[in-house]
Amino acid sequence: MTLNDSDELVTDQAVARAHATSADGRRMTRSEELRLALADEIVRGVLAPGEALDETQLAHRFKVSRTPVREALRQLAASGLIATRAHRGAVVARPTAEQLNNMFETMAELEAVCAGLAAERMSAAERQALEAIHEELRKLSHLGDPQRFHEMNESFHDAIYAGAHNAHIAEITLATRVRVQPFRRAQFRNLGRLAKSHAEHDRVVVAILRGDRANATKAMREHIELVREEYELYSDSV
């Protein structure tokens, strides 16, 4: 698929999906919106591996300056969704199975550490906030809105990172999540995935509220491993 006027309908739909406030109420920047829209198209196969991504064409297509386009491409490169070439621009890429497994393995271990620490260190107010987010996710799982669930899901994990009370681990975990995010987001389109994700979260929340570090660690690791499996199912279906 080329980046020309025939893409207008796909562009409008992609921007509509990406154009939203974050779960914490913060308005997304244009570069974040572009990153989500382009990541969505790459993961769904709308933009094929090897396809060139010209900054000027993308800026025209999305009606923005080249600055947010450049930042979006930089973030996509960190996820392995595009490859940048010196003096030749960027092209669509797809991480190898080994690269994806490595990213998810790292994500699972980092998230597990955060959950275990949160079980021991979260304040009463932080535990109440986590429960409130978990309840909101339950409601969203019944509505069947993958995008809104994804946004609230990030708030859920953010609350656990913060509850670990280790800024260094939280920083590393967030940086890793940015790289894995397109794949985590895509798997929410699987039939029944929202309800299953909420059930997996429930095991994490129960362990954290009980102050059970071992089971919080185990439940979170298993959750991220299931996310990887769900993404593989999604990838095979598109």
Domain segments of the chain: what residues? 5-92, 97-237
Q: How far lies 87's CA from each of 4, 43, 54, 84, 143, in Å?
A: 22, 26, 12, 9, 46
Radius of gyration for the chain, computed over Cα atoms and rounded to the nearest angstrom = 18
**Rounded distance between C-alpha atoms, residue 199 and residue 138, angstroms:** 9
Tokens of 195: 């309800």
Which pLDDT belongs to residue 129? 97
Supply the DSSP symbol for 92.
E
**Rounded distance between C-alpha atoms, residue 228 and residue 42, angstroms:** 17
Which pLDDT belongs to residue 97? 87
* pTM score: 0.78
97-237 belongs to CATH 1.20.120.530: yes
Which pLDDT belongs to residue 84? 85
Percent helix, percent strand, percent coil in the chain, to nearest 5: 75, 5, 20
Which pLDDT belongs to residue 9? 38
Q: Please list the pLDDT of the chain residue by residue as tens digits (238 residues).
A: 444 443 443 344 444 443 444 544 557 789 989 998 998 888 887 888 888 999 999 999 999 999 999 999 998 988 888 988 777 789 998 788 898 899 999 999 999 999 999 999 999 999 999 999 999 999 999 999 898 999 999 999 999 999 999 999 999 999 899 888 888 988 999 999 999 999 999 999 999 999 999 999 999 999 999 999 999 998 888 7
Tokens of 193: 């995935």
5-92 belongs to CATH 2.130.10.10: no
